[in-house]
Structure 1
Amino acid sequence: MARKTKRKKSENMQTTKNFKNIVINNTPLIDVRAEVEFNKGAFLNAVNIPIMDNLERHVIGIEYKQHGNDSAVELGHELVSGQLRETRICKWVDFINNNPTAIIYCFRGGQRSKIAQSWIEKRLGRQIERLEGGYKAFRHYLMENLQPQYAPQHIMILGGYTGTGKTKLLAEFSATVDLEKLANHRGSSFGRHIDPQPSQINFENNLAYAMIQNKYKNYKYMLLEDEGRHIGTNFIPTDLAAHFANGKLIILQEDIETRVNITHSEYVIEAQKEYCDALDPDIGLYEWAKYIMSSIDRLKKRLGGLATQNLINSFNAAFSKQLIFGQTDMHKDWIKMLLIDYYDPMYKYQLKNTSKKIIFMGNTNEVRNFLKGEL
């Protein structure tokens, strides 16, 4: 039987659609959608404290389809009541007490966030803001800002051979949008981190945040690393990638020994630590080795069988020596082979065919000084 009772709607509840300020100020957000919705896509600075869990949402969805909105709302109040309701209110209030400017939202800024807002305000004795239009409206705003006409228009791109230290140099400049950090990937065939990459939706949301913040800080240029459209499993939207390709290109140059040392530090020392910190140290080391081996194997089509086997042999020798003596320097042998035989020819080809205008070439200090002068 359909539930007939109607509940009185709350009046004079505060809402906001000042999405720009939310991004610029990194405003804390409370997402009251179910966990399954949050996992499909969410925003930076958002915490998921659902008003309904996945099962409750599913049951109420069935009620809505069978008996309509009023009946579904009434069922929701019945399911989320008593101690369960009290627990959820306490979680929201605790977060707001620690983050007084927090804003609450659901998918469309509708009933779920309104109900949660009314419960919170009754408990706090003051008003809080609700995101007008909810997740859907804010997501639309962020995607709009990934369109080239709304993106920062003046772009500098730092390129260079693998191992020149582009990412670390760009980190010195606040005007940088770190695409690899946003994608949680080093941007190469060996670039996966042990933690998973964000979903494509979250990557886009986070990229939009970074670009909006860059735009309204009024930097002369937005600085990017020279990436392909794909960064691991994440990808830059087509029109935005084309916009980036119109940027001015700076080439960072370093000798092969410097590049080997930088690559060794990042892909061996830092990567092994990452694996060992996340897993048991012994297991972590072997998982890292398995990943490197699988990455080498994926290059077979481009490198050819003989070169791939030489890389594997060199890696196995280095890893065996590390296990016996605890040293990692022998890894530099296969790294040097990888740079010379795989990455360098690929980048030479890309550089030869680039449409970007090269405005400067130099080593780390020279490029650093050039960027300081330009910014």
Structure 2
Amino acid sequence: MFVDDYQKIFLSDRPMLDVRAPIEFEQGHFQHAQNKPLLDNQQRQSIGLCYKEQGQDAAIEMGWQMATEEVIEARINHWAEFTRANPEGCLYCFRGGLRSRFSQQLLQQHGIDYPIVKGGYKAMRQFLLQELKQACQEAPLIIIAGPTGSGKTKAIEQIERCIDLEAEACHRGSAFGQLLNAQQPAQISFENNISQRWLKLGRERAVLMEDEGRLIGRLNLPDYLQAAMQKAPLVQIEEPLEQRCQWVIEDYVLSPLQHISLEEFSHNLSANLYRIRKRLGGLRYQALQKEFEQACQSWSKQQEASAFYGPIEQLLRDYYDPMYKYQLQQRQGQVLFRGRCQELVDWCREQNL
């Protein structure tokens, strides 16, 4: 029993039982897949080496030798629990081959019929890659631009037809953008998630994305997505510097301090500032470092965030704004709208976006 309608699988968020080894799952997976492996990492490596040196029959024999009653019972218990919770699901290995069929047979021996995804992970991954490439070539795309702190993320959260690249990357995109207690996904998973999101939105109407550079944290935007974004028309958020400073304080100071100690916050702030020291220049870096230290000391005494306003204003005005203006000049697309954050949200609703 096979399933091969990949589009339907992803549009319906069909639960998937991933029987690949944990290391394969970590290197890339799909949003609605759970990893309950047939082989652990060491077993996979040993059987793979045997297959390469002695052929398929020898590898299958080695697999049966490893499949003790205790091992099979543990696997069946995990899989049966998943299939009971997700009767509409399916299972896959890397290519839809031996591991999938063996897992399916074990389930059938215990009275559970569960379909295999034809072609396995590889086929579904290729489907999503092709879908993303075609969307970049064919689908209308609009880029949300605006200087740091102008509320692009606030707008994205209110616009229906958006792909939030930073949310998918678990990173805000700047030197200060690492999210608390959030590990970035694998590069392959990041690409899979963008493609699946775009697939659900469809290509008939425009999709909006925030203006991003090549990297979001340690993750790369695919070249073809970068090219599409570079040519796409823009909507620009223009907020007063005072408002931007207040939002940066809310997002990058007050929010983190609700979850971590002042000591940890101060350490992270110092480390992030150090990353851009060369671009800031020695004197500016030292001055900002001192001002942020004093702001942290003020917070420790009075729980008052106003001391952060000065260095944040300087950082926005003298570092981020010139960089934004330069990057904006490289854009090729026409400007469809300019206005404040909420005005952009209202415009998108008027445009049925």
Q: Shorter-chain TM-score: which interval?
A: over 0.9
Q: Greater RCO between the two (CA within 8 Å, min separation 6)?
A: 2
Q: CA deviation at 1:111?
A: 0.7
* Larger deviation, residues 128-137 vs 152-161: 152-161
By how many angstroms is 1:252 displaced? 0.7
Q: How do 1:207-226 residues align onto structure 2 when only pairs under 5 Å count?
A: 207-215=194-202, 218=204, 220-226=205-211
TM-score, length basis structure 1:
0.89
| Distance (whole Å) between structure 2 residues aligned to residue 86 and residue 53 of structure 1 | 15
* AA aligned opposite 1:342: Y
Shift of 1:264: 0.8
Task: Tell me which residue corresponds to 1:370.
Answer: 347
Question: 1:30: which partner in 2?
Answer: 17
Equivalent of 1:45, from 32, 38, 42?
A: 32
**Which whole-Å deviations, capped at 9, do the CAs of 1:133-179 have from their partners, x for residues lacking one?**
11111111111122145666111111111111111111112211000
Percent identity between the aligned chains? Answer: 35
Is this contact kept in 2: 1:148–1:239, CA < 8 A? no
1:88-103 correspondence to structure 2 within 5 Å:
88-103=75-90
Q: Describe the SS at the equivalent of 1:162.
A: coil
| 3-state secondary structure, aligned to 2:79 | helix
SS at match of 2:226: helix
1:231 equivalent in alignment to 2:210: no
Tell me, in whole angstroms, the C-alpha distance in 2 between the residues paired with 1:235 and 1:58.
29
TM-score by length of 2: 0.94
What CA deviation, in whole Å up to 9, does each residue of 1:114-149 have, x standing for no partner? 1111111332x3422111111111111111122145
Q: Aligned with 1:104: secondary structure? A: strand
Match of 1:332 in 2: 309
Unaligned runs of 5+ in 2: none
Please tell me the root mean square deviation across aligned C-alpha atoms, in Å. 1.7
Query: Shift of residue 15 of structure 1?
Result: 0.9
1:135 paired residue among 95, 98, 121: 121
Residue correspondence of structure 1 range 114-125 to structure 2 within 5 A: 114-123=101-110, 125=111
Distance 2:234 2:83 in 1: 45
Aligned partners of 1:39 and 1:63: how far apart in 2? 23
Question: Would the alpha carbon gap of residues 114 and 24 (structure 1) be closer, same or farther in structure 2, given more than 3 Å must change?
Answer: same
Distance 1:222 1:66 in 2: 50
Amino acid at match of 1:360: F
Structure 1 residue 265 corresponds to structure 2 residue 242: no
What is the match of residue 273 of structure 2?
A: 296
Check conservation: 1:151, 1:211, Cα contact below 8 A.
no
Structure 1 unaligned segments of length 5 or more: list them. Answer: 1-13, 277-281
| Deviations 1:73-112, CA, capped at 9 Å, x for gaps | 1221221221221111110110111111111011110011
Could you tell me which amino acid in structure 2 is paired with residue 372 of structure 1?
R
In 1: Cα distance, 2:145 partner to 2:121 partner: 36
User: C-alpha distance in 2, partners of 1:64/1:368?
Assistant: 57
State which of 45, 57, 69 in structure 1 corresponds to 2:44: 57
What does the per-residue CA deviation read over 1:217-252, in whole Å, with 9 as the maximum and x for residues that have no partner? Answer: x4x210111111221111111122111222220111
SS in 1 for 2:306: coil
